[in-house]
A and B are shown apart, each in its own frame.
Chain A
Amino acid sequence: MIQTWFKIFYRNSKKNWLHLIINVLGLTLGFAGLLIVLLYLNDEQDYNKSNPFKDTSYRVIHRMSDGEIWDTSTSVEGQKYVEEVPEITTMYLSDGWYMDWVVKVDEKQIYTRDMLRGEPSFFEFFPFEIIEGSVKTFEQSRNHIAISEKQAKIYFENESPIGKTISIQGQSYIVTTVYKLEGKHFFMPSAVYQNKKEPTGNWGSFSRNLFVKLTDEADLESVYKKVNDVWFRNAIEPGAKREGIPADEYNEKYGTEVVLESLSDIRLHTIAEEAGPEGKGSYQLILIMLSLSVLLIIISCVNFINLSIASATQRAKEVGVKKTLGLSKFSLIKQYTLEIMFQGLIAYILALVMVELLLPSFNEFIKKEITILVPVLLSKVFGVVVLVSLVIGIIPALYLSKFKTVEVLKGNISRSKKGIFARNIMLGLQFLISGFFLVGSLIIYQQVNYMMNKDLGFEGDQVVILPMNEYENRYQKYLLAKKELIKHPKIKVTTSNSAIIGGGSSTSTNVMYKDVSVQTELNALDYEYIDMMNIEIAQGRNLREELASDSTTNVLINETLAKAFNIYNDPIGKKITTGGSGDESFEVVGVVKDYHIGGLDAKIPPMIFFHWNAIDWMKQNFWMMQVKVENDNISETLSFIEDYWSKNVEQGYPFNPDFVNKRFARTYREYERQKTLFFILTVVVVLMSLLGLFALATLTIQQRLKEVAIRKTLGASVKEIMQQLIKGFVKITLIASVILVPIAYYFMQSWLDNFVYRIDMPLIPYIITPIILSALVFLVVGFKAFNATKVDLIKYLKFE
């Protein structure tokens, strides 16, 4: 029986190979999409999954009085929580971020990335498997360090690391423990070392990362209340006393709410901007992608069913004959369903192949290392495949098996009017989705293009950024390098500033003019900086080296700050003070034309420019030197700098020069990725709806062939018949295009609202999209309709 079944399937497929390809292709796309999204979700959910304390460990973060969430904590609060809240058993305080150092191991200098510094209790929160040594010895002294198995190999090759000494930034540590990194965790450091002293600090300085561990039976609500009580007594009350106001009033003004975030939720559900050095996952994005892929599968099912029913009419005779031969309705359904299951299986295998082929580029795109080898997931998707095949098999099968034997043998098939409306809705929905993606793609494309071409207010061509890693004597090293590097004929300018274009660290403080106080970005710089970047001076003059006061009390402000102070029309000579308390006073000698420092999604901040020497502590924020080089032979110039750098500035560190232009371009990399993603999705979705269009056109035209024959007999021209057949589809397209407008407008408007500097909502995408969709309709349906006009008149007039 199976042989007969397979024979019929094979011969039918040969006759209808186009339908088979379209069916299988649609399903393949759907399954592949679902699989990729699930693999992605699975990878994200893997974070902290294997941590046995994931449900009792909480990250302590803070909600400020303005509603902003800071993912950092003070260095003092943790100890107080452990002492005063009985449910909190222990805490782990760390820098929260990895550091990259050149460390000294056995007289070797080894550049080491991802080192984490913190309190001894690391392993109480992250109980990695210990390969050598023990956690107990690690915790015994602040001079102890634990290293990962991989790092141990790099440092000591095959020797045992236990008892060896490692020197980090001049401080010695003894290796007591080697751990193995397995799975995915909040922290995955190459080495865990300790603060040499007990952490100190005040209740207003947020720079650390704090985890606390609760008892198993702790009630989160009451713990939450208790930690906030501790916070009130230690931070609010003393602060209120200082200001001389009641504690409640102080709390309202500067109050901070302590928030506890479960370790198991941080990766995907954190309310803060960041979720640790390993990054965070976008749950929202996953949800959107998941619903999109489910939608894709539903659509491909509908397309499949439409096409199956269309070709079913061609198979009616087979059904009729089988029925006369005494096959039961059930076995007919069974056979047909088996055929579909077989196609589902092919689609599944193709989807696996497709995902395997796509994963490398997908991984590069999302910066991950996902593999397809997740058996649980593969079997889950296989379950979906079986389920989907059953549904799309049984519906056409029921339709087929309902054919009345006699009618079928006579070739008489009544066409079902039922479901036509539902089918049109499904097609309309596909057009709607395609239209949305088309409009979205076009708008995103325009915005990204706008960003790339916008006048940024500076010219960063051939300006190279040279980052520094070590803290010690940075500014002195810079001054030396500045003098030495400029001697090279291809280096035109050597200079520096603190607020680097393209983002990075920023320092801000309150700047006052009379009684107006503005939170202002501090930009310490060297004299050549503004000219090198071709930043315009709007009023007054630039700072000059030959004027003594230009390195002490004279400053520049940008246009935004001038406007905020309301001195835009007459800024020169105005006295301003910094630091809130008004202890340092400066005089404005010039106004700098606004230029973009962060991405175009950020406003240009109010900014004050002064020489490094004017505010001496700003030298702590010295991160990078900048040089402008000649356009020719850049690589040679760079290797000259590298040579100097590794000998005289920083030994042992990798030389990572960066270009200002590239650095700024990175601020919209996220949006470029969205552009790519949207483009890919648009192609997939449009392809899908083309398949759907083809399927539905095949079905409806198949059902209208008799009508076509009659009309043709009555003398209708090819044009008239095609119009008749296409009309319905164009109507659906136009209705979908109209519904599309408010939906796309709403979503794209809110997307554009991400940008401070953005294009106006363009009209053209809303006009182009219906045109593209209609063109596709004319192409696909037109092709089918044209074929229909070639119908064999006699056959349809005679026998139907």
Chain B
Amino acid sequence: MITIKDLTKIYRTEEVETTALNKLNLEVKQGEFVSIMGASGCGKSTLLNIIGLLDSPNSGSYSFDGEEVSNYAEKERSGLRKANIGFVFQNFNLIDELTVYENVELPLIYNNVKSSERKKRVLEILERVGIAHRAKHYPLQLSGGQQQRVAVARALVTNPKLILADEPTGNLDSKNGNEVMELLTELHSSGATIVMVTHSSYDAQFSSRIITLKDGIVVSEKENEYKMDVLVN
């Protein structure tokens, strides 16, 4: 589904040049749950941003679902993004002025889904992440765990091909963190492709493959054998 070859990203300021990604290669297959790990500044967030089409590389190729997208203009990237990719952030990034329901509805509006269809899908997804009873609340009235469920619901509501999670448990205590990880695992088992950036090796255990970055290149890759066990638990 994702094929990345020789991907390079360099940040320039007036005096300093920082190489965030250095000719990185990576492949993610349909239905995989990949964790990306590494120390601060290793380039994992940059990689996720590029995969999520929030940022573009300086060189190299990135093909998404068989399409070369590294040279896409902002408008095309935006179109691809809203149809195919769902985001879950460390700090949830919900809009405080909108209710839970409206937050989840937002991506459907941007995808021009009809109002009746929207209602059905939003209620369905809120049910699925177990937050339906809070539909009329505002984000700030919810606990961190609940907010992250809303964010997950929002990421899922368009049925994206790919879910990107940037430290989804970073702002949560371990109980809430576990709940969110279980939610992601459940999604994975029902066929979703997930790429997750994390610091936590515990969280990484939930995924099917762990990639470790250092200085902008992949230094190790490890298939995770215990994933089904985790799921059973």
A715 engages B93 (CB within 8 Å): no
A713 engages B49 (CB within 8 Å): no
- Can you add 6 more A-B contacts, CB < 8 Å, to A710-B95, A715-B78? A706-B93, A709-B93, A714-B110, A714-B154, A717-B78, A798-B45
Task: Contacts A712-B78, A715-B83 given; indicate if A797 touches B97 (C-beta within 8 A).
Answer: no
Query: Smallest CB-CB separation from A720: which chain B residue?
Result: B110
B49 engages A715 (CB within 8 Å): no
Query: Smallest CB-CB separation from A710: which chain B residue?
Result: B93
Residue among B54, B79, B97, B111 having the largest count of chain A Cβ atoms under 10 Å: B54
Query: Smallest CB-CB separation from B83: which chain A residue?
Result: A715
Can you name 20 A-B residue pairings with CB atoms under 8 Å?
A: A706-B93, A707-B95, A707-B97, A709-B93, A711-B95, A711-B110, A713-B87, A714-B82, A714-B87, A714-B107, A715-B79, A715-B81, A715-B82, A715-B107, A793-B54, A793-B55, A794-B55, A797-B89, A797-B93, A800-B91
Name the interface residues of B67-120: CB closer than 8 Å to any CB of A: 75, 78-79, 81-83, 87, 89, 91, 93-95, 97, 106-107, 110-111
Bound: A713/B93 CA distance, A: 10
Chain A-chain B contacts (Cβ-Cβ < 8 Å), number: 49
Number of B interface residues at 8 Å Cβ cutoff, please give it: 23
Chain B residues near A707: list those with CB within 8 A.
95, 97
Residue among B75, B78, B81 having the largest count of chain A Cβ atoms under 10 Å: B78
Q: Does A716 contact B (CB under 8 A)?
A: yes
Bound: A793/B45 CA distance, A: 13
Across the A-B interface, give the 9 residue pairs with the lowest CB-CB distance, nearest first: A715-B82, A715-B110, A714-B107, A793-B54, A710-B93, A716-B110, A707-B95, A715-B81, A714-B106
Query: Smallest CB-CB separation from B45: which chain A residue?
Result: A798
Query: Smallest CB-CB separation from A414: which chain B residue?
Result: B96
Chain A residues near B93: list those with CB within 8 A.
706, 709-710, 713, 797, 800
Number of A interface residues at 8 Å Cβ cutoff, please give it: 17
Name the interface residues of A539-562: CB closer than 8 Å to any CB of B: none
Query: Smallest CB-CB separation from B74: which chain A residue?
Result: A718
Distance to closest chain B CB from A423 (angstroms) = 16
Bound: A800/B154 CA distance, A: 19
B54 engages A713 (CB within 8 Å): yes
Bound: A309/B93 CA distance, A: 24
Chain B residues near A712: list those with CB within 8 A.
78
Chain A positions 345 through 365: 1 when the CB is less than 8 Å from some CB of chain B, otherwise 0: 000000000000000000000
Distance to closest chain A CB from B77 (angstroms) = 10
A713 engages B91 (CB within 8 Å): no
Chain A residues near B97: list those with CB within 8 A.
707
Query: Smallest CB-CB separation from B155: which chain A residue?
Result: A714
Distance to closest chain A CB from B195 (angstroms) = 15
Query: Smallest CB-CB separation from B52: which chain A residue?
Result: A713
Bound: A715/B77 CA distance, A: 9
Bound: A798/B87 CA distance, A: 12
Distance to closest chain B CB from A380 (angstroms) = 46
Residue among B45, B75, B93, B97 having the largest count of chain A Cβ atoms under 10 Å: B93
Bound: A714/B78 CA distance, A: 8
Distance to closest chain A CB from B74 (angstroms) = 9
Bound: A709/B91 CA distance, A: 13
B49 engages A794 (CB within 8 Å): yes
Distance to closest chain A CB from B75 (angstroms) = 8
B110 engages A794 (CB within 8 Å): no
Chain A positions 770 through 800: 1 when the CB is less than 8 Å from some CB of chain B, otherwise 0: 0000000000000000000000011001101
Bound: A710/B88 CA distance, A: 11
Chain B positions 44 through 66: 1 when the CB is less than 8 Å from some CB of chain A, otherwise 0: 01000100101100000000000
Chain B residues near A797: list those with CB within 8 A.
54, 89, 93
Query: Smallest CB-CB separation from A800: which chain B residue?
Result: B91
- Of A716, A717, A720, A794, the residue contacting B54 (CB under 8 A) is A794
Task: Contacts A793-B54, A797-B89 given; indicate if A713 touches B45 (C-beta within 8 A).
Answer: no
Chain B residues near A793: list those with CB within 8 A.
54-55
Bound: A188/B75 CA distance, A: 77
Chain A residues near B79: list those with CB within 8 A.
715
Bound: A798/B49 CA distance, A: 10
Chain A positions 701 through 742: 1 when the CB is less than 8 Å from some CB of chain B, otherwise 0: 000001101111111110010000000000000000000000
- Of A706, A709, A710, A713, the residue contacting B81 (CB under 8 A) is A713
Chain B residues near A706: list those with CB within 8 A.
93
Chain A residues near B154: list those with CB within 8 A.
714
Bound: A711/B89 CA distance, A: 14
Bound: A367/B75 CA distance, A: 62
Query: Smallest CB-CB separation from B108: which chain A residue?
Result: A714
Bound: A720/B110 CA distance, A: 8
Distance to closest chain A CB from B21 (angstroms) = 14
Distance to closest chain B CB from A351 (angstroms) = 39
Chain B positions 142 through 163: 1 when the CB is less than 8 Å from some CB of chain A, otherwise 0: 0000000000001000000000
Chain B residues near A713: list those with CB within 8 A.
52, 54, 81, 87, 93
Bound: A272/B73 CA distance, A: 75
Query: Smallest CB-CB separation from A708: which chain B residue?
Result: B95
Bound: A710/B49 CA distance, A: 14
Chain A residues near B54: list those with CB within 8 A.
713, 793-794, 797
Bound: A709/B55 CA distance, A: 13
Bound: A720/B55 CA distance, A: 21
